[in-house]
Amino acid sequence: MSAISQALSGVKVAEFGAYAAGPHIGKMLATFGATVVHVESRSRPDGFRAEYPPYKDGKPGLDRGGCFAIFNDSKYAVTLDLKNESGVDMAKRLIGWADIVIENMRPEVMSRLGLGYEAARELNPGVVMISSCNMGQTGPRAYTPGFGSQLSALAGFCGLTGSMEGPPQLLYGPYIDFIASSLGAAAVLAGLDRQRRIGQGALIDLAQYESGLMFVASALFDYHKIGAVAERAGNSDPNAAPHDAYPCRAGGWLVLSCWSDDEFRRLADMLGQPGLAADPCFATMEARKINEKDLSALISQWSLSQDAEEAATSLQTARVHAYPVNTIADLFRDPQLLYRHVWRRRRHEVIGDLACYFSSFDLSEVPGDVTGAAPLLGEHNLMVFQDFLGVSDDEYAEYQAKGAFD
């Protein structure tokens, strides 16, 4: 697929981002044809390169990181020392070239460098800049540090996850980063539309913390209307019974739920115990909620003799909500993901064969693609600064001598 046929072909992006929240926005834009330049420095590379495993063969290295590879395919990579006057000068030239600037540094860092939105629009009046950080650019917590796990706790996720008998549970990975970056991509495209219609840009102030609040919407509503504070309930759901994960043969697990009495009757038939649907302990949703532990024990007795995948298929055929719990290995052979070409095999110069994640959506007439594996540190310095920005050989050598690219 040539870039010329993609939806965002010709859109130019300068990405002063690291880890997930900024680079994931850039990855989504690059997947659909935008030219995305990822900016780091040799003295301070992207944290996903330097600090965050896994690494190829378990050996750390700036071009061996799996997390960096996941969030930075289809991009160009350059190095600029933003503590060096010449490096900042070249960064300004990059901002002047770009339609979109992505940054996820702490508030005011870009401004202190002379690269904030006010400076950016002096260089480029139509530029769209998105500043994504933990708390947004303003407020009493704006300057506090944190990662996704802390934000998930602050946004209420952890307080609702786990059982009341134990502590709140941290979610796997920086969950809020991915919510925020998806919203960020939509916001950037809205800004780009404004730029194209009236020639003016915009500053987008994206608070990752606030991005997570929509995922506790029902709990927020209950408190707002009736003062009820939602509590941890393990795998239970107030509107379904059963609603749990059940052990299966060979270490597998099955997740199933019933949201009506009719659905429970179908489950009882599948369990080979149709009488359960008439049992006063289980005949109604209210009764099942009261006797949920006993019901889960009955289902577990059945599930332990079942293959998780086969049981899920049978239950789905009977119109019962059920799926197996996939392991990471299962995701690479899941027939749904394979059918939709979610994994795009590309070759990384250091890591080797790499299964790059494509996208959860595509465009019918102008499909996206993973155009290449993640770049090496500073791999495209010459191409970006000379071919994209028009820097001459002599200028490049002068900038290099002054340490701009360190």
Catalytic residues: 177
Residue type, 399: Y
Q: b/e string for 138-175 if b means 16 or more Cβ within 10 A?
A: eeeeeeeebbbbbbbbbbbbbbebbeeeeeebbeeebb
From the list 186, 178, 187, the residue with the least C-alpha distance to 205 is 187
Collapsing DSSP states into helix, strand and coil, what is residue 246? strand
Per DSSP, 380 falls in state T
Distant-in-sequence, close-in-space partners of 44: CB < 8 Å, separation ≥ 6? none
Collapsing DSSP states into helix, strand and coil, what is residue 39? strand
- Residue 368 contacts residue 6 (beta carbons within 8 Å): yes
**Residue 55 β-bridge partners:** 65
Q: b/e string for 288-323 if b means 16 or more Cβ within 10 A?
A: bbebbeebbebbeebbeebbbeebbeebeeeebbbb
Structure tokens at 29: 């834009």
Q: What is the rounded CA–CA span in Å between residue 333 and residue 310?
A: 16
Structure tokens at 379: 């791999």
End-to-end CA distance of the chain: 34
Q: What is the DSSP string of 52-112?
A: ---BGGG---TT-BHHHHHH-TT-EEEE--TTSHHHHHHHHHHHHH-SEEEE-SSTTHHHH
Q: How far is CA 388 from the centre of its chain?
A: 29
Q: What is the rounded CA–CA span in Å between residue 246 and residue 17?
A: 41
Hey, how many other C-beta atoms are within 10 angstroms of the C-beta on 96? Answer: 14
Backbone angles phi, psi at 131, to 5 degrees: -110, 110
